[in-house]
Each structure stands twice: as C-alpha cells, then as structure tokens.
Amino acid sequence: MNKSIHFILLLLLLAGPVLASDSPPAGVEMALKQVTEHVYFVQGVPGVATDNEGFISNAGVIVTGAGVVIFDALGTPALSQLLLEKIRKITDEPIVRVIVSHYHADHIYGLQVFEDLDAEILAPAGAEKYLASDNASERLDDRRFTLDPWVNDNTRLVYPDQYLGEGMQFHLGDVEFVITVVGNAHSDGDLTLFVEPDRVLFSGDIIFEGRVPFLGDSNTRHWVQILQRMEKEQLVALVPGHGGVAEKPNEAISLTRRYLVYLREKMGGAVNDFVPFSEAYGEIDWSGFDYLPAFEETNRRNAYQVYLSMEAEMLGRR
C-alpha cells in the first residue's frame, strides 16, 4: 500500500468515526450565569436567527438537588451540547426535564441533545400544529442552508413527550415549578415557567428584554392580555426568551406590552380609515421604539402582520 495512503488511513482510525452529517462544536462565547440560588441561564446575542451561529435566544437551567430542569433548548444541537458542558461544570445531577416555551426554530433545534439523555420534554398545546405544518420542514431545510454546518442533515425535529393544554405544578428537589399555558400569543402555543422559592419567571418570547419582539403569526390581542396580567406579579427576576435578565420585571413587561399596543392602535386606525399599509407605515412616528435592537430587521414585518390581523378582527366584528 502507498505509504501516504497508509498514513492517512491511520490518522482516520486514530481520530475515530466521522459522520458527514455531524456538526462541529459551537465556536461562540457562552456563559452560564447564576440568577438566584437555583436558577441559571445563558443569553444569546441580539440579532436575526442566523447570527452568532444561531445563538440569539436564551435557555434556562434550574438545579434542584434532585435533577436539572432546562427551559428551552437553543437554536442548534451544537449550542445545546455546549450548554450541557457548561452545566456539567456546576452539577452532575441528571437532566430530568426540558420545558419548551414554544416551537420556534431558535428554541428547539437543540432538543435532540436532551432527548438523547432521556429527558422528558414538555411543550404547550399548539406546538403540534407547527410540527405538522409545511413551515416546520421548510424552516429546517432553510436552516440547514443558512446555519450550515451547525444545522445539517443530522438535525431533527423533536416531538415532545407531552403537550400541555393546561398549566401544571410539580416539585423536584428543593424547587416548586409552576407552568402556565398562555395559548396562542407569540406562536401557536406558548407557556411560561415560574420557579419557587426563587420567584423567577421564564417568559419565553412573551417578553423580549430590551429589543423589538418578533411577532410571527402571533395573536397580539391575546398577547397584550397576558402581559397585562403579568404586570401585576411580584417577581424577583424575569428571564425573557431574548435579552438579559430583567431585574425590574415590570419595566420589561411594560416595554413589550406598550410596543404591541402601539402597533395595534396605529395599524387598527389605518385599517379602520382604509389607509393602505405602506402609506400608514411611513406616516407613523416610531421614535419610541426605533432605538431598540432588531428594530430595522423586524418592525416593518411586525407592523404588516398586525395590519392584516386587525383587518381580520374588524371583519369579524362587522
């Protein structure tokens, strides 16, 4: 055998099996930050879904003394693998349960890492609509291109073990958990997680801290109602789906609520007066929000979604 070929084969054997569909490890900075006694989280950077190797959303980690509960699973398997490595530096407790705030790509493509550890996966009712839709497979195909090689042929959609149509409470170790299913607000199905005794709320994308939210196909009327209820809670900290921990939770809730209310007011007025969207959009004063991260990337699309939804709402009332 040619010596050079023999040497290459030897290197491959020493390196172990390599699968074409495997992804390289995540190369981003990720810090597991402690919020309270039991609660930690990692924070993605502000940006669109393909920025920062897909690390633009947050994930929560609750260490109970009897197992670890994860809230959301980040946007690639490589990111969740990196998260798992960070967790193993603070505890060797098993990963018991993963609670998914909603089924959008930047929160779910890392689920397979925890499924492979036999963690139970819970998601809100409504997620099954996404998983059964063409959008789910089309989005995965798109991410295999735009987030290659971290999302690739080895990345799969993970179905939850249980869909929650109603809220639930459970106890694990030293911690009491309260899941609240809020319905179709930001997505087809959303939920939040409240951690006692720490009094920390994981809001998913119901709250965006310090940036413009992505509305997608959300029900903004219901979303506003949920935020109004949240503003009445007495929280120690709020961990949103994107952005930093809100140590003044009511301010974070208020910002998202005010943005949605403003969109509904302006777009609703345009629909009521039969003003075309482009004309209405150009005449609106956005100075109350245009300083926020992701405004340029998301605001016009958000406004158009609300314009269409306000049309549907008004037609339903006529």
DSSP labels, the chain: --HHHHHHHHHHHHH----TT--PPP-S----EE-SSSEEEE-PPSS-TTGGGG--S-EEEEE-SS-EEEE---SSHHHHHHHHHHHHTT----EEEEE-S---HHHHTTHHHHHTTT-EEEEETTHHHHHTSHHHHHHHHHHHHHTTTTSSTT------SEEESS-EEEEETTEEEEEEEEESSSSSSEEEEEEETTTEEEEEEEEETTSPPP-TT--HHHHHHHHHHHTT---SEEEEEESS-BSSHHHHHHHHHHHHHHHHHHHHHHHHTT--HHHHHHHS--TTTTTSTTHHHHHHHHHHHHHHHHHHHHHHH-
Identity of residue 200: V
Residue 198 lies in a domain: yes
CA pair distance 243, 42, nearest whole angstrom: 10
How confident is the model at residue 275, as a pLDDT? 95
Residue 317: the pLDDT is 60
Q: Is 273 within a domain? A: no
CATH number of the domain bearing residue 43? 3.60.15.10
Sheet holding 162-164, edge to edge: 33-34, 39-42, 59-63, 68-71, 95-99, 120-124, 162-164
- Tell me if 87 is assigned to some domain: yes
Total domain count, the chain: 1
In a domain, 234, yes or no: yes
- Sequence-distant (6+) residues with CB within 8 A of 144 are 151, 152, 153, 155
pLDDT of amino acid 65: 97
Residue percentage of the chain with pLDDT more than 70: 92
Q: Is residue 3 part of a domain?
A: no
Mark 109-142 as b/e (b = at least 16 C-beta within 10 Å): bbbbbbbeeebebbbbbbbbebbeeebbeebbee
Residues of the chain with pLDDT under 70: 1-21, 185, 317-318
pLDDT value, residue 51:
93
* Amino acid type, 246: A
Q: What is the residue type of 226? A: I
Q: Say if 10 falls within a structural domain.
A: no
Q: Which domain holds residue 42?
A: 19-248
Tell me, yes or no, whether 69 lies in a domain. Answer: yes
Query: Tell me, what's the pLDDT at 156?
Result: 96
Which pLDDT score, from 0 to 100, does residue 221 have? 87
* Domain contains 286: no
Find how far residue 209's CA is from the centre of its chain.
13
What's the confidence (pLDDT) of residue 48?
86
Residue positions counted in the chain: 318
Which residue in the block uniquely carries the two structure tokens 């998601």? 123
